[in-house]
Structures are given as structure tokens and as C-alpha cells.
């Protein structure tokens, strides 16, 4: 079995916990205000500054460099979304939550280990290119956002998404990994899911408190 398939199979139960999150369920059901949605966009902003910062630092790396795609960087898209949701003063309005600070610290901590970087990159970007597209369509129905601000985070200028994901999986399969390293990456991916799910859990508590 190629590593992409192994990784997916080994972490799919973690995906189910992430997908099952109460905040995402409320969001998809249209039960949250624009500001409550904006809180997730704000947390994405801090997480992707870290992730894309790690990518920039690894651009020439012989192994991790295969997973550096400048066309995926999210900072500018997130700034457009935050400006649309909170207005031009968005940066005074947002701060990283405790779980986001933990996620960011972990991304920074493992950024000098190609497998660790790949684990976090895979968990976020392959998700944004998969379920994220469904999330975007729901958000557009609920809040009426068009491309240009609001849901730009989910728009990628990479042509065919399925083709890009196939290429991404091909690169995962091409990694030269022994069994111990495969297991380490799987463990880090499970942790990445957990840390991302904790960010959502915190957003859910915030949204319930505000309701």
C-alpha cells in the first residue's frame, strides 16, 4: 500500500472526530452569526501564518520542499475574509486562542523535521481541498459570500483540485520512509487532527457562551 493510503486509513477515525465537531455542525446548520464564523477564520489566520511560515523556510529542502506550494499560501485570502467579516480594523479584533497557540507551537516545534511539517501540512491542506470545498459551498448559501472576501480561504488557484490532490498523494507515496518514520508521521498526523479539533472545541464553547 502506498504511504498516502496508509496515512489516510490510519487517521480516518481522527478525521471522523474532527468532522463530528459541534462547532462545525452548528456552522453547517446555519446556527452561527457571521462573527462566530469569523472567530474560526481568525484562528485559521494564526495557524496558517505558522504553517506557511514553515513552508517558506523549507522551500529548498530536499524532502520537505516537495510539499511547499506557494500557490496554497493562505495569508492574503484570510486577510480578505477577515476584512469582509470584521472590517478594516480586524487585526485589533482577533487573537489566537489557547488551543491555537498550542497548535502553532507544535507546528513551529516540528518544522525542522520534514515528516512533522508534512503531517501538519497534509492535515490542513488536503482537508481544505476536500471537505473544505463542501464547507465553502454551505457557507456561501448561509452567509451569501461571493469570491473576493468571506470564504476566499477555501478558493485555490491550482486548477483541478482532484488532479492536485492526486499529485500530492503521489508525492506522499514517493517519500523514502522506513517503517519507524512512517509510524512517526502517522502519530504526528493524529496529533495534528487532535490539536485542530481542540481549536474547534474552544470555538464551540465561545459560540455557546455568546448565544
Q: Known binding site: residues?
A: 8, 15, 122, 169
Interface with ligand HEM, residue 196, by CB under 6 A = yes
**CB neighbours of 25 closer than 8 A, spacing ≥ 6?**
none
Query: Please, what's the largest Cα pairwise distance for the chain?
Result: 50
In Å, what is the CA distance from 49 to each residue of 56, 105, 134, 183? 10, 12, 23, 27
124 alpha carbon, distance to own chain's centre: 3
Of 57-65, 74-82, 98-106, 126-134, the window that binds ligand HEM (rule: CB under 6 A) is 126-134
Interface with ligand HEM, residue 22, by CB under 6 A = no
The least CB distance from residue 89 to ligand HEM, in Å, is 28
Interface with ligand HEM, residue 205, by CB under 6 A = no
Distance CA 90, CA 50 (A): 19
Distance CA 152, CA 72 (A): 12
Distance CA 105, CA 65 (A): 21
Residue whose C-alpha cell is 523549507: 58
Under rule CB under 6 A, which residues in 134-153 are in contact with ligand HEM? Answer: 134-135
**Binding-site member from 6, 10, 15, 173 for ligand HEM (CB under 6 A):** 15
**Binding-site member from 2, 13, 17, 19 for ligand HEM (CB under 6 A):** 19
Interface with ligand HEM, residue 123, by CB under 6 A = yes
Distance CA 108, CA 106 (A): 5
Under rule CB under 6 A, which residues in 154-183 are in contact with ligand HEM? Answer: 165
Distance from first CA to last CA of the chain, Å, rounded? 47
C-beta nearest to ligand HEM: residue: 131
Q: What mask of x and - would describe binding to ligand HEM in positions 58 to 87, judged by CB under 6 A? A: ------------------------------
CB-count exposure of residue 59 (10 Å: 0-12, 13-18, 19+):
exposed
Which residues make up each annotated binding site for heme b? 8, 15, 122, 169
Under rule CB under 6 A, which residues in 82-121 are in contact with ligand HEM? Answer: none
Of 12-20, 74-82, 113-121, 178-186, the window that binds ligand HEM (rule: CB under 6 A) is 12-20
Binding site for ligand HEM (CB under 6 A): 8, 15, 18-19, 24, 28, 122-123, 126-127, 130-131, 134-135, 165, 193, 196
Amino acid at each position: 500500500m502506498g504511504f498516502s493510503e496508509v496515512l489516510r486509513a490510519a487517521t480516518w477515525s481522527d478525521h471522523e472526530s474532527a468532522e463530528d465537531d459541534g462547532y462545525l455542525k452548528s456552522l453547517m446548520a446555519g446556527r452561527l452569526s457571521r462573527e462566530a464564523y469569523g472567530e474560526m477564520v481568525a484562528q485559521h489566520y494564526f495557524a496558517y501564518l505558522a504553517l506557511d511560515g514553515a513552508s517558506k523556510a523549507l522551500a529548498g529542502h530536499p524532502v520537505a520542499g516537495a510539499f511547499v506550494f506557494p500557490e496554497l499560501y493562505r495569508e492574503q485570502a484570510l486577510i480578505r475574509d477577515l476584512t469582509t467579516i470584521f472590517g478594516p480594523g480586524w487585526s485589533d479584533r482577533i487573537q489566537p486562542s489557547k488551543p491555537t497557540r498550542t497548535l502553532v507551537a507544535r507546528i513551529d516545534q516540528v518544522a525542522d523535521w520534514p515528516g512533522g511539517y508534512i503531517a501538519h501540512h497534509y492535515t490542513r491542506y488536503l482537508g481544505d481541498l476536500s471537505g473544505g470545498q463542501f464547507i465553502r459551498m454551505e457557507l456561501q448559501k448561509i452567509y451569501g459570500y461571493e469570491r473576493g472576501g468571506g470564504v476566499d480561504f477555501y478558493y485555490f488557484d491550482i486548477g483541478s483540485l482532484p488532479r492536485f490532490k492526486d499529485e500530492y498523494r503521489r508525492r506522499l507515496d514517493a517519500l523514502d520512509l522506513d517503517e519507524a518514520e512512517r509510524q512517526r508521521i502517522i502519530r504526528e498526523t493524529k496529533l495534528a487532527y487532535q490539536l485542530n479539533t481542540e481549536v474547534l472545541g474552544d470555538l464551540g464553547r465561545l459560540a455557546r457562551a455568546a448565544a
